[in-house]
Amino acid sequence: MKMQFYSLKDLLIFNIKYFRFKNNMSQEKLAELCSFSSRYMTDIERGMHCPTINKLEVIAKSLDVEPFELFQNHKYDEDIVAKIVKNRQYNQK
């Protein structure tokens, strides 16, 4: 499944969430692996902070992907995308 993104930032945010869900990882666990605060990781995924290149490398390593993969529009697993969408709707209530 290919998706349309309106900006590189949107693509980056989605890919961080996607690979986190793919690895069955909570935001807290990813933040811990990256040595970031949970709040900072939440703000990244909400688009409130844009991480530096160095921090993106740490995030990619923690997600077990190459940094450039965070900027690619992949063929996404529909089940994982559905989980992301469901989780987002739950959090917005």
CATH architecture of 8-92: Orthogonal Bundle (1.10)
Domain boundaries, the chain: 8-92
Taking the C-alpha atoms of residue 1 and residue 41, their distance in angstroms, rounded to an integer, is: 26
Predicted local distance difference test score (pLDDT) of residue 93: 39
Predicted local distance difference test score (pLDDT) of residue 92: 45
- Token output for 20: 């986190």
pLDDT tens digit sequence for 11-56 = 999 999 999 999 999 999 999 999 999 999 999 999 999 999 999 9
- Single pTM value for the model: 0.90
- Token output for 39: 């709040």
